[in-house]
Amino acid sequence: MSGATPGREIERVWVLRGQPAIPADVPVEVWRIEQGYLAPARGSEAELAAAGFPEGRLRRIVEPSGAERFVHTVKSGSGVVRTETEREITRAEFERSWARTEGRRIEKTRRRARVGGLVWEIDAFDGLPLVMVEVELADEHEAFAMPEWIAALVAKEVSHDARYRNAALAMYGMPGREG
């Protein structure tokens, strides 16, 4: 198991009206992601928490090659800039703790498109009528140009709307129409 990698995540997020057609000349990778959010540890779960999984998200990523990766992530803060600690874990560690995410899971297909030095991650969520795009930036004030084939489908920015965080979607489902 590799060590944790602490850092800052600077991310902007938008809801799209549909899945964009990625131009043929844009490099793209398609990942399948299954992720669950850990419940507070109680009883025998406290032993697992003591073993290094007290909170956060467990994620299984299936890459285009078919290779699987397993990751434990803890995020804190709100808005565009948050703290993130992430570490690779083994399949056995993932499977031992996965049951603690019951009722707090999502699955999605992520298309990662590289444009202009940035990676635009387009997520289509299984079981939810929702497509979102996010981009990670080096600085919260970094200027960037959203590709037109994405911009044409933007319904709204949700970078500051916690209801659209993956954890909230996993626990509460799709936000109401009031936002």
CA 62 to chain centroid: 14
Taking the CA of residue 65 as centre, how many other CA atoms within 13 Å lie in the half-sphere pointing to its CB?
3
Q: Which residues contact 27 (CB under 8 A, 6 or more apart)?
A: 113, 114
The SS3 of residue 98 is: helix
Tokens of 88: 């690779």
Q: Tokens 């709204």 identify what position?
A: 156
Alpha-carbon span 56 to 113, nearest angstrom: 26
Mark whether 37 is an active-site residue: yes
Q: Please pick, among 37, 53, 70, 120, the residue that the annotation labels catalytic.
A: 37
> Considering Cα of 66, then 138, then 78, then 121, what sign does the dihedral take?
negative
Residues labelled as active-site residues? 37
